[in-house]
Amino acid sequence: MTDSVVTRFAPSPTGFLHIGGARTALFNWLYAKKTGGKMLLRIEDTDRERSTEPAIAAILDGLKWLELDWDGDVIYQFSRAARHREVAEQLLAAGKAYRCYATAEELTAMREKARAEGRTRLYDGLWRDRDPAEAPAGMKPTIRLKAELTGETVIEDQVQGRVVWQNENLDDLVLLRGDGNPTYMLAVVVDDHDMGVSHVIRGDDHLNNAFRQLAIIRSMGWPEPIYAHVPLIHGPDGAKLSKRHGAMGVDAYRDELGLLPEAVGNYLLRLGWGHGDDEIISREQAIEWFDLANVGKSPSRFDFKKLENLNGHYIREADDERLAELVAPSLSLSDAQKILLRQAMPELKARAHTLNQVADGARFLFERRPIEIDDAAAALLSDEARQMLGSAHAKLGALAEWDAAALEAAIREVAESSGVKLGKLAQPLRAALTGRTTSPGIFDVLALLGRDESLARIADQMEPNE
């Protein structure tokens, strides 16, 4: 374990920070922390048509929300285009790259022929050893790497194990396009080298790219990074993760679903990595335990219900003041109402799996009279129930102290005198006080609403139906 470990997270800002990207960032961050190294952040914004400032902002915001801080300044790939071109020119000067003047029609014909013959090498080396003097006038060439034609390339991947690629299947990949712009393959290699990246931890959809990128690295004589290609996340049905499975932006998990960052982080950690049977893992434990050797080789399956249940655990463990601050904006509360929300939080969070459920459970506290009674609650307010509400109103109104012990004693006494079990009275009482059939305990509801509001809400429902 040395401080020489450098990982990087390198998203393309063409959309939100999706859940798979967040897990990649987490694994890079954990490995850097575990080894006393650094995690760098590079925004791969070379696709100028699709890269957007809002997407960049969403990526940075998502990482900050998940508390995945990076080291140093953010690197923007597009700003380094001159450096990428410089390396392409170096390879050209060293005879390890060449100018290609193949036309679009020629390239199409090559690809079609290769596919018809079942070959993965799509470019046939037309300009590899040809005299540039034969080039058509006025045509701007691409610059291609001279790939190895024989032998094999081996990667000892930290997750996938030993992976072998036959060099005869490697194309002479394009380094610079005809307009002088560097390709993704070249830019990634140059940036990783210049940033001192020692470990490339990314999705296994990039495994084939690794062999092409290694060809550039070896042509330049640069140190080779250690690779770890992590299997992708699939949906519960085993299919590629899509929006219907939960492939939303990290911001949606926060803003739309009401999840806590520590729950999302814990869940992502367990998607494809494990430490025995441990499910609840703190960030400190994750740093201590994380190891690439324990990343599985098979795709993991996204289970939203499991994520929601895990979030429920973290909500119950969370500080009440923090939860109140997170929930309050969705309820548009005054300062006084925020105090009430904070007081109610121990009861509210005990029944919730998401912040949305906490907010929904709290709404009855702030409704104006007469409160709306939903259909299920209205069905509990029979004439008999309304008569019991009248008895409860009288008993509660006579209380000298409005505290938990006195409230419970009063309600139990009314139930007993009415000849019913406590639940038979508590259900219509809950309906009258909250407008719903579910809520915190009825004595807690009475205590939170206070004497005046509780008595007024009960009175609103005491009259029989017309």
Residues 397/337, Cβ–Cβ less than 8 Å: no
Residues 12/191, Cβ–Cβ less than 8 Å: no
Pick the catalytic residue from 96, 146, 240, 243.
243
User: Which alpha helices (DSSP H) does 239-303 contain, by range?
Assistant: 250-255, 261-270, 283-289
> Crossing angle for the helix pair 320-331 and 335-349, nearest 10 degrees?
120
| 242 to 14, 56, 235, 316: CA distances (angstroms) | 17, 21, 7, 30
Phi, psi of 377 (to 5 degrees): -70, -40
| Pair type for strands 38-43 and 75-76 | parallel
395 is an active site residue: no
Distance CA 386, CA 380 (A): 9
SS3 76: strand
Distance CA 279, CA 259 (A): 17
SS3 144: strand
Distance CA 116, CA 96 (A): 29
DSSP code of residue 297? S
User: Which alpha helices (DSSP H) does 37-80 contain, by range?
Assistant: 53-65
370 cis-preceded (ω within 30 degrees of 0): yes
Positive or negative torsion for Cα 351, 357, 359, 361: negative
Distance CA 181, CA 420 (A): 82
Which residues are identified as catalytic?
Answer: 243
